[in-house]
A and B are shown apart, each in its own frame.
Chain A
Amino acid sequence: MLTVEGLHVRADAVELVHDVSFTIAPGERVGLIGESGSGKSLTALSLMGLLPEGVTASGRARLGERDLVGVPESRVKDLRGRALSMVFQEPMTALNPLMRVGAQVAEVMTLHGRPRHEARERAVELLERVRLPEPGQIARAYPHQLSGGQRQRVMLAIALANGPELLICDEPTTALDVTVQKQMLDLIAEVAPALLFITHDLAVIASMCERVLVMYGGRVVESGPLRDVFTRPRHRYTQGLLAASRLTPRGTRLPTIAGSVPPAGRFPSGCVFRNRCPHATPACETTPALTGDGHAHACWHPAD
């Protein structure tokens, strides 16, 4: 259903996302994982056509038969909120503070052709569907009167309003209290049609997704079914990531990945991870290709 081929994102001369390709089948839930600065959010935003000013995408991305990248804004904007929707990381600022919640939910429907009164009614239903108590009252509230978790549910209601084919969630629970995170994730898992779920949290991915893409330095370094990648990581970065997140019984952490993520544009040539990789050799100065069917990786010295 969603096919991404050779997606590049650049800001001025700096390439932020390099040659990303993946697919999502109808009903499939795919996780996109990586540290901040890895290019995962930009990948998602380029699919939505919401890249910040001065940042451009090239390559191919299709949702069904419709192109998402390299087409005029007027065409993409009709897909947004209808065929594909997105829930953002920061619920506190994602809603218009001067507009009632119900109106903001209804807006996405009227925008795509539903009559106003019908949209109003359906907005309340949607609020109920995302498990908000007293949806009628919430519809009349302003965003500042809701908690973070409630606002994120409102965002989810907006995303679901027009029955999209694909839902993109960009760290939807990061900003929420731990107690609320679980409910939110359950809700997303329950209502999402097909899902592209972006996070840096391996545990969340594990509970949500069937397939996973690991990004680092603007590239997909490893991809495959969740179980394979998590139990038998091939790329040294994935390996490090998993090791860092795994707790020992005594609660002490294993060594994390050395160094830190370089700023955009400062990644080494060749394998982007080689300056932090304990296994790096001169061979790594050449860019490795993402190879392998099903469980693919881009590494000259993969783990077994």
Chain B
Amino acid sequence: MRRIGIWIAAGGLLLATAACGGSPGNGSGSGGGAKTQSLSVGAVAEPANLDFTSTEGAAIPQILLVNVYEGLVKLDQNGEIVPLLAEKWDVSGDRKTYTFTLRKNVKFSSGAPFTADDVVFSLGRVKTDWKLKIKTQLDVVDKVEKKDDSTAVVTLKRPSNGFLYAMTSRLGAMFSRTGVADLANKPVGTGPYVLGAWRRGDSIRLDANPSYWGTKPALSSVTMKYFKDATAMNNALLTGGIDVISSVQAPESLQQFADPNRFQTVEGTTNGEVVLSMNNGRPPFDDKKVRQAVRHAIDHKALLDTAWAGRGQLIGSMVPPTDPWYEDRTGDYPYDPAKAKELLGGKTYAVKMRIPNLPYAVSSAQVVKSQLAQVGINAEIEPLEFPARWLDQVFSKGDYDLSIINHVEPRDMGIFADKSYYFHYDNPEFGKLLASADEGTEQQQADDLKQAAKLLSDDAAADWLFLFPNLIVAKKGVTGLPKNAIAESFDFTALAKQ
């Protein structure tokens, strides 16, 4: 695995949720007849446009991937890679050639048939037209060829465990050769839904695709409604304005939805590590002891209880429990202010904590500040507009000491391997481990990554505050809600209303 660009996205905010799961339900919606059921889902960040090949942010794939655009493969609820537009795939003995056998009778919403030519076209565009840095994840691809209309062959430069995984993300989305003229406004895909209407600043409606190749969705339309204010979103669900809150932004308010006759709460896990980033590249956090002191100074349990109502999971490194190589590292740095003071050697520090102005970050920062103050580190909180100002100041310019952000991308430990990345963590050993993990066998991969996670934790490259929970609240009777949010999209295909 090379450097994985991040879609740092709005952290927990955009993360919203994802993935599939549940079973399609049927029922009588608010609209009346069985075929006019519709559902409206509250989310936090509205996409700026619909072109995820040139615009960063989790909001676009959240609504479009799997629903409008489909890839050859997708990630299921358990983190397994399963067929989608490819019926099956074969991997050569040297693990460098992937032969995808494509489904037949798949059509784009424009009516054009989906063939191997589109695979060549779409993967080719990643190199030539995509503007996102995550496209480097497919740098490992050497060439893509059409064998016949329903067979595409991808040849890699070297064996890579990350390749097929990357194909489940945006990078693997299949575009029509005739459908990329106005990606920002007119998406053309093969998915079960097509873009219905977009009311900027308010909502995006997806309508069921009548000529979908697979199981047709149970709903005739799904509307994603965007809220900037957590309370407003809660109120909308309470008053019937929406059916689902895709990601609860005010976990203390969950009590409002306690009535099981009206509401259901789904609580699961995500890939989102809420990271207390420390700038390894400049004093005082270039000193490992100071970083370790920070990890000892923070009472993670208390932080999770106060900042995020105890929802979520404690983690000790950059690996979520849903990854195969997860190990419990929460014991590495137990809460121990005395030890922290000792590590600091009686010195005190004044540092800048520049955080995005997102609910989880603002909440967590206040706890971190209070706890660090106990050991002599005075952190001044500075909330920055997210995304623009935070990205500019912290992420691009690296002008910060501490920050808090939810790194939502799946399997994103690789970001620590890039020392130009805003952590400025620099340990060649770590990079070697990741490289060998990507090329090696599955067992080797797991061993290497376990070791890498331990290394990160030992070096205190950052502190991991908690794993962001997948918290969904919905009206009673809504089915097909994903328990875990471990993919990039909020999968509508299984959603139904009873």
Report if A and B touch in the complex (beta carbons < 8 A).
no
Q: Point out residues on A near B: beta carbons under 8 Å.
A: none
